[in-house]
Chains A and B, each alone.
Chain A
């Protein structure tokens, strides 16, 4: 029972006390690490402490709301109980680099629909209603369709993909996503010869989200990929991370992950996927076309006009790291861009 310890009070204490722990020292973080790293081990050490058992998930993901909510907190708890463990197979695409703690992944987000400060989404994303949810798949396809979450989860077996994530703002993380390749979905709908690009659209709900005028970018958020990028085996539709459903602030219930491109290409909370013939408009490119191109491949050789992209700060580290072209996925994706000027033209 998840509920019992919390109602006794000890759980609540855990929630507040957590605030004072450091990202690196947090015992919970250690728990996450050891949980993760001990998975393939044959000899089992003491009873395993799973990260989801330490603090109820919903309470943890949104402490303030939870503590303030009272009855709402109980509802959140029920939701936490429902939070399904996702079983996923391992992938050879995964990096073995140390994972970024869940705390950072869920409290340092760019999700402008829920506020433009990094911690805003963790406070506001509880307003996102992820069920019922549908994704429309349409455009240049033989079989356009509307998928509900059940259908989405049945498209392909889930895999865990531990990817590096590089934000255009010069920070990076290592995130254990759970999802399936976008190409599995695209093959199901039978793209026609006219399908040259894929356009994505996020949910926009003006009642629960920030107005465009405040965020400074147009909503709904839109993104796009060239067909070969979309079909690339690295390109993931993520439905979870750290072994569970996606937290709202990370783009629940389904988002894109394109690990060799800057984070803003990996559109969150997708409601529409449309296959099109022409390069589709994209949100940040519309906002500042000299700063954010359509391709947006991680590229230390191409400066953002306002800052250098040669280095990055891995969250949790003090020193900066050198940024690697295509975020280190060059062996797999560099050939997609043969002969293209990635600095002046196709940035």
Chain B
């Protein structure tokens, strides 16, 4: 198991897997299988995958510990960056296909509509994390500060789930499912946070 996880090909495979939702979307677009309102469909699918990748990223540490597979940590950055990637696509569908780059309109929505405010917040929080995701940045910031910064991901995921919950009309089953999974992932970390605010140096992903 360890050997498989350490292999270079594991990362390549995971990368391809992470691209699948996008490829499927493109394929379905060209074969006109996105239904009567393709733009709405693209917006929903990219949004869905943003939340899913955030949750998957947050699963890495618990699974690493519970399964005692330290090597899992090497996939965390890629998963996080894919969350950011799908978040960018999701945002772009709104900026381009819904607002047609009308900055004034976009700003009005961001300040007026709470589900957009919180969604935008969730996205903006991901930007510094994506920028500082490289080994160079971990070195520059120092691991402690870097890790503290990257705790923003919890707030981003929370914002994403609230964004989804607030935007659906009445059927909240899926947003609640995401909220439940997020709650479990956060509760799992709670004892660690309570025990000490000091970050533990071991098991760090920083030096890969």
Interface residues, chain A, CB within 8 Å of chain B?
A: 19-23, 25, 103-104, 107-108, 112, 116, 118-119, 169, 171, 214-217, 287-288, 305-308, 313, 315-316, 318-320
Contacts of B114 in A (CB 8 A): 306
Interface residues, chain B, CB within 8 Å of chain A?
A: 31-33, 35-37, 39-40, 97-98, 100, 105, 109, 113-115, 166-173
A308 to B39, CA, bound (A): 17
Contacts of A214 in B (CB 8 A): 171, 173
Which of B97, B115, B170 touches A112 (beta carbons < 8 Å)? B170
Contact assessment for A23 and B169 in the assembled complex, using a CB-CB cutoff below 8 Å: no
Name 7 extra pairs, CB < 8 A, besides A116-B170, A306-B113.
A19-B33, A23-B36, A306-B115, A313-B40, A315-B37, A318-B97, A320-B98
Contact assessment for A23 and B32 in the assembled complex, using a CB-CB cutoff below 8 Å: yes
Chain A proximity of B105: nearest CB distance (Å): 8
21 pairs, A vs B, C-beta closer than 8 Å: A19-B33, A21-B32, A23-B32, A23-B36, A107-B35, A107-B36, A108-B35, A108-B36, A118-B36, A118-B37, A119-B35, A171-B37, A171-B40, A216-B169, A216-B171, A288-B170, A305-B113, A306-B114, A313-B37, A313-B40, A320-B100
A-B residue pairs, 8 tightest by C-beta: A216-B170, A108-B36, A104-B36, A116-B171, A22-B32, A216-B171, A217-B170, A315-B36
Contacts of B40 in A (CB 8 A): 171, 313
A118 to B36, CA, bound (A): 9
Contact assessment for A307 and B170 in the assembled complex, using a CB-CB cutoff below 8 Å: no
Contact assessment for A287 and B170 in the assembled complex, using a CB-CB cutoff below 8 Å: yes
Label chain A's interface by main secondary structure.
loop
Chain B proximity of A163: nearest CB distance (Å): 17
Chain A proximity of B194: nearest CB distance (Å): 36
Contact assessment for B172 and A216 in the assembled complex, using a CB-CB cutoff below 8 Å: yes
Contacts of B172 in A (CB 8 A): 216
A216 to B105, CA, bound (A): 30
Contacts of A316 in B (CB 8 A): 36
Contacts of A305 in B (CB 8 A): 113
A22 to B33, CA, bound (A): 8
Chain A proximity of B81: nearest CB distance (Å): 30
**Which A residue sits closest to B115, measured CB to CB?**
A306
A20 to B105, CA, bound (A): 36
Contacts of B37 in A (CB 8 A): 108, 118, 171, 313, 315
Chain A proximity of B41: nearest CB distance (Å): 9
Contacts of A313 in B (CB 8 A): 37, 39-40
A171 to B170, CA, bound (A): 18
Contacts of A119 in B (CB 8 A): 35
> Given A306-B113, A306-B166: A103 and B171 within 8 A (CB)?
no
Contacts of B173 in A (CB 8 A): 214
Contact assessment for A215 and B35 in the assembled complex, using a CB-CB cutoff below 8 Å: no
